[in-house]
Structure 1
Amino acid sequence: MSNPPEMPPSALSLPDAVRRASMRDGWSAAAALVEQHWDALAATEPSLLLAAVKALPGEAFMRNPGMLIAANHLEHVVIGGRSARVHAAMEHDQASLVGSAPLDQLIALTSDSAAARTQDDSARAADIAERALTELDGMPAIDVAPIAKSLAHLRMQWARSLDAADSPRARVEYERTYEVALATEQLRVARRASSHAAWLHAERGRLSEAARWLARAAATGVTDARYDAALHLTAALMRIDGDDLAGAKAFLDTADETGVGEYWAAACWVHSLYAHNVADAAVTETRLANHVQEHPGVLEAPGFDGRFVRACRVRVLLLRGRTPENLDTLAGLSPSDQVIAAAVAHLERREHDAMRLSEPVTENGVEPRLQSNALLIHAAAAAALGYTDTATHNFVRADALIQHAGLHTGYETIAPADLKRLIELSGIQTQAAIRIGSARRDLPDLTPRENDILALLTTELSAGDIATTLFVSPNTLKTMTRRLYRKLQVTSRQQAVDYAHRAGFPNRKNPS
């Protein structure tokens, strides 16, 4: 703990000061206030310090499970139990867990799991969370009852660790966390659990289930912008799936403004789905590069973050006219990576590889979003090889799944030309497929390349960066830009940007 600053007017006012700091500046400021006075009060006024810890909002314990360890230690001290000082909540001897109180064991495991997650070791985080769940399942009811209030916070952390590793058990744990939180009247935890459950369903393509969990989050009647990233991203994704790009942009902007936290990779992926031209792709690619620099190795990592990072990277590269390389080696990491590798194989006209990679993911029982994508790729590859019956069969299945689930984004998995051919082969009049598959928010009097230039001019990219993004020389860019200015009847970049905004081009924020 850090050295204490000047004490509040009265030491007895510390719990009230913690409550005020929480309401005014958030949980982190309140937790910092407790930490600042820890050394001064732990030995002399443990009861007062415990009261200050208990004045912290639930979010402080969700974000820093070590605070629960500290609180539990203080309770032991106050009631005359163990007196060993806890100096670092995240550092403890695993051997000391044997024979310790049930809550101590669960808190210590939760701390380790959360720490592994922040170190990008999702497999270890999930393994420790499973151990914690096993410990809890093995406890007699008489031991569980006294710690019921703490279980919602702990389960929330276990569910997050399981989710980070793409464990199927994550969904169940979010639902259990929600139920436990409601039962113990911890509405903010219930809201957080329901928001994570909503995202999990939405990103897998179960939009009706996602909508149910969004409604449950709203029904808690509480709000906390700091933990609503999953809610905003879920709402954005569902609007992209429904081709409401303006609505999606509003939710994406809100998520960016309030912070996406552990959902940074998911946010990059949703931004890539929103992108429909080279400008949006370039901005998203920069966002992704910044995050990848902060998380070395994530491009090859299994789990939640790696899966979304690779999906985002492939989409932005394809939007920018580049084909990703060496994807077949990553196809074994997840069904998502199999679909990605299949899509690239189809683009490279390796149709047999595309069919081989996509076929396992076309089976019933796979999540709707991945299954519909795999069916479209398999159908397009089969059509290219002349297997018309196979192509028609898989396209009909894909179209039925997309229409039933409302996953219109899926049509963008293959090129508009492939989509048109499959519609002709099958005889299905799927107007949504034609409209969604060819979506580009362009001005009709400009060529696609001129639209790309105009879109890039609305960003803060320099002329050199724009040329690099478009893979042209600076002189070629100057020539194309002058031609664009003549069409728009403007004479400067600012005038072109003003024209673009009046014409409905979205405002773009360069990622930090």
Structure 2
Amino acid sequence: MGTEAVEDAIREHMVGREWEDAIALVEVHWPALSQHRLEFLGTFLNAVPEGFLRTSPRLVAAKDYANFLPAAGNVRPNRYQHSPTHRGGLLDVLAELTSQSVAARFAGRFSDSVAAVREAQATIRDVSDTTLATIWPVLPDIRLQWAITLELGGMLSDASRCYEETYDEALQFGNNRIAVEAAGTIAFNYGFSGDRKRAENWLARRPTLSESQTDTVRVMGELGQALLAATALEPEQARASLDSALSDDIAPEPWALRLYTESILAVVDGDLRAQLARLSSTRGAHPESAWNNGLNAEILALAEAELSLSSGDMHATQRALTAVTWSGDLKPHATVLRAWAELRRGGAQKAVALAGTNTGRQVHVRVTAERLAVLAAANLALAQPKEAAAHFRSLIRLVLQEKLYSVLLRFTRTELETLIADTDEAHSPELTRVVTSLSLTLRQQRTLSLPNLSPRERVVLRHLVTDQTIQQIATTEHLSPNTIKSQARTIYRKLGVTNREQALRTVAATPEILT
């Protein structure tokens, strides 16, 4: 019997005041009704006489659930307006805390939202199985809201654990919609961390939904697929997955995660300027509270830094990374991007120091690969070919294992060719294929004739791409500031630029100028 037929049958029993028969149907078809007819379920449970409700703790819990928790889709923000005047049973408490958490989340108060979730989690930690059994059928939806809050609060590891619990409970009670959303988000998180095998495993574990394909619970899985495809340098597949994900108008909460995924794709296909403009305009279209804290603040900063780094704008990269207080699981990602920016500014030693920074958190596969890449390139710049080759060998093993091919886009053509030539492991057929496909997207795409700089001018240029002032450079080189200014003008002319900022971008795109 389909959900529509079940609803019709229950309505007939309601008209005839045949409450026992109606309740029996609800018990049998609870998963389908809670997934696809939640509004009707609330109407029915509110209509059941108190005498019948008192005979079943599950019905009491179900009534609270239907009144306090959201229906699917765009009505979610509106359903979280009710708040009990006093706390009663377990579900009363959990519903109130969840309501507070989601209300804070929608308002962009992510720390308050996470605090309410922590309190809710503590509430059920020591609850007996007997008591918990009275709310088990509704727990997946409650826990899903906790997981979303932890995710948007920047607690990705905690969120993934909560999503896994949600997934198991959702399958136990036949709530496939929630299982799809949980599995899809876990897959996205693993994709972000660079753990392809686990990401693909969770994508494969999503149950099949018989309802409309335009269901919001599919979005995170589709973003995860897009991220995996972009990382594997499969832009067409990534674009197809992004196109199949519902728009922000229909599924608004993951808007920043969508922007990040689009930005990684832009780094791969070279659409940097357009994506930077899109990132700025989309962020500006949201209230500041939606992007100045929590995961949104950090993921958007990473997106901007990725785009700026790939376009050769090291000042913009540093600006994006320093505009955010990194307090969550994303800090190691920011640190390794800072290392790349330092390297492209001529600070190979600083890059090595940053790449070796111990953040005190579990290191993601992607961060490990990025660190190895930074160390390989930095050791090349420091004329340490053996160390560079050792780091590159480790990088290649990881890149091939997880298809983290986009990490290779960090290198210039010269760097990559040098490292491959010195590394036997880099001559595998798969890597040869990848490097061939990279040839049109590496940052040093065109063949450049290096400017004819004198040894003295190269020394001054190395200073100019740092944060030193003209006076500091003059003091270091025992020259007058006017002499440094004169040499700088000559350098700019030879580089074909007119100012220091443009010179920095040129050097970032072609580091060989400094050697």
The one of 303, 307, 319 equivalent to 1:312 is 303
Report what 1:417 is aligned to: 414
SS of equivalent to 1:386: coil
SS of equivalent to 1:396: helix
The one of 189, 201, 208 equivalent to 2:197 is 208
Report what 1:179 is aligned to: 168
Shift, 1:331, TM fit: 7.9
Report what 1:111 is aligned to: 99
Residue correspondence of structure 1 range 288-367 to structure 2 within 5 A: 288-293=279-284, 294-296=286-288, 301=293, 303-323=294-314, 324=316, 325-326=318-319, 329=322, 330=324, 332-333=326-327, 334-360=331-357, 366-367=363-364
Amino acid at match of 1:169: D
Report what 2:159 is aligned to: 170
Contact 1:363 1:371 in 2 (8 A): no
In 2 relative to 1, CA 66–304 (structure 1 residues): closer, same or farther, beyond 3 Å? closer
Contact 2:216 2:246 in 1 (8 A): no
Report what 2:243 is aligned to: 253
**Higher RCO (CA-CA < 8 Å; seq separation 6+):** 2
Instruction: Please give the alpha-carbon distance, in whole angstroms, between the structure 2 residues aligned to 1:183 and 1:219.
Output: 15
Residues 383-431 of structure 1, C-alpha deviations (whole Å, 9 max, x = no match): 2112333322221111111111111112123333322222233343242
In 2 relative to 1, CA 138–370 (structure 1 residues): closer, same or farther, beyond 3 Å? same
SS of equivalent to 1:217: coil
Structure 1 spans left out of the alignment, 5+ residues? 1-10, 14-22, 70-87, 449-471, 473-512
How many residue pairs get aligned? The number is: 399
In 2 relative to 1, CA 219–307 (structure 1 residues): closer, same or farther, beyond 3 Å? same
Report what 2:397 is aligned to: 400
Residue correspondence of structure 1 range 47-62 to structure 2 within 5 A: 60=71
SS of equivalent to 2:154: coil
**TM-score, normalization by structure 1:** 0.67
SS of equivalent to 2:299: helix
Report what 1:372 is aligned to: 369
Instruction: Please give the alpha-carbon distance, in whole angstroms, between the structure 1 residues aligned to 2:192 and 2:418.
Output: 28
Contact 1:409 1:436 in 2 (8 A): no
Instruction: Please give the alpha-carbon distance, in whole angstroms, between the structure 1 residues aligned to 2:144 and 2:190.
Output: 17
Report what 1:478 is aligned to: none
Amino acid at match of 1:60: A
The one of 182, 203, 228 equivalent to 1:238 is 228
Structure 2 spans left out of the alignment, 5+ residues? 1-13, 17-31, 53-59, 449-496, 498-515
Amino acid at match of 1:353: K
Contact 1:205 1:368 in 2 (8 A): yes
Report what 1:492 is aligned to: none
Report what 1:120 is aligned to: 108
Instruction: Please give the alpha-carbon distance, in whole angstroms, between the structure 2 residues aligned to 1:269 and 1:102.
Output: 38
Instruction: Please give the alpha-carbon distance, in whole angstroms, between the structure 1 residues aligned to 2:289 and 2:418.
Output: 39
RMSD of the TM alignment (CA)?
4.4
Report what 2:432 is aligned to: 431
Contact 1:351 1:385 in 2 (8 A): yes
Report what 1:459 is aligned to: none
Contact 1:342 1:357 in 2 (8 A): yes
The one of 181, 191, 196 equivalent to 2:185 is 196
Shift, 1:313, TM fit: 0.8
SS of equivalent to 2:71: helix
Shift, 1:286, TM fit: 2.7
Residues 51-108 of structure 1, C-alpha deviations (whole Å, 9 max, x = no match): 999999x961687678888xxxxxxxxxxxxxxxxxx41x566xx33xx210011111
Amino acid at match of 2:97: L
Shift, 1:321, TM fit: 4.3
In 2 relative to 1, CA 343–101 (structure 1 residues): closer, same or farther, beyond 3 Å? same
Shift, 1:135, TM fit: 0.8
Residues 98-133 of structure 1, C-alpha deviations (whole Å, 9 max, x = no match): xx2100111111111212222223333222212211
SS of equivalent to 2:164: helix
Shift, 1:219, TM fit: 4.4
- Identity of counterpart residues, as a percentage? 22
SS of equivalent to 2:150: helix
Shift, 1:361, TM fit: 6.3
Shift, 1:144, TM fit: 0.7
Residues 222-262 of structure 1, C-alpha deviations (whole Å, 9 max, x = no match): 55532211111111122222222111111112225475522
In 2 relative to 1, CA 313–191 (structure 1 residues): closer, same or farther, beyond 3 Å? same
Report what 1:263 is aligned to: 254
Residues 30-63 of structure 1, C-alpha deviations (whole Å, 9 max, x = no match): 86x999x99xx9899999xx9999999x961687
The one of 263, 275, 278 equivalent to 1:284 is 275
Shift, 1:154, TM fit: 0.5
SS of equivalent to 1:230: helix
Shift, 1:155, TM fit: 0.7
Stretch deviating more after TM superposition (258-267 or 159-168): 258-267
Report what 1:475 is aligned to: none
Instruction: Please give the alpha-carbon distance, in whole angstroms, between the structure 2 residues aligned to 1:362 and 1:393.
Output: 23
SS of equivalent to 1:262: coil
Instruction: Please give the alpha-carbon distance, in whole angstroms, between the structure 2 residues aligned to 1:106 and 1:126.
Output: 14
Amino acid at match of 1:161: T
Shift, 1:146, TM fit: 0.9
User: Which of the two has higher C-alpha Rg?
Assistant: 2
Instruction: Please give the alpha-carbon distance, in whole angstroms, between the structure 2 residues aligned to 1:419 and 1:216.
Output: 37
**TM-score, normalization by structure 2:** 0.66
Instruction: Please give the alpha-carbon distance, in whole angstroms, between the structure 2 residues aligned to 1:66 and 1:245.
Output: 34
Report what 2:142 is aligned to: 154
Stretch deviating more after TM superposition (243-252 or 290-299): 290-299
In 2 relative to 1, CA 152–331 (structure 1 residues): closer, same or farther, beyond 3 Å? closer
Residues 289-327 of structure 1, C-alpha deviations (whole Å, 9 max, x = no match): 1332214267763x4322321121123234444331335
Instruction: Please give the alpha-carbon distance, in whole angstroms, between the structure 2 residues aligned to 1:353 and 1:433.
Output: 30
Shift, 1:157, TM fit: 0.8
SS of equivalent to 1:267: helix
Instruction: Please give the alpha-carbon distance, in whole angstroms, between the structure 2 residues aligned to 1:61 and 1:351.
Output: 51
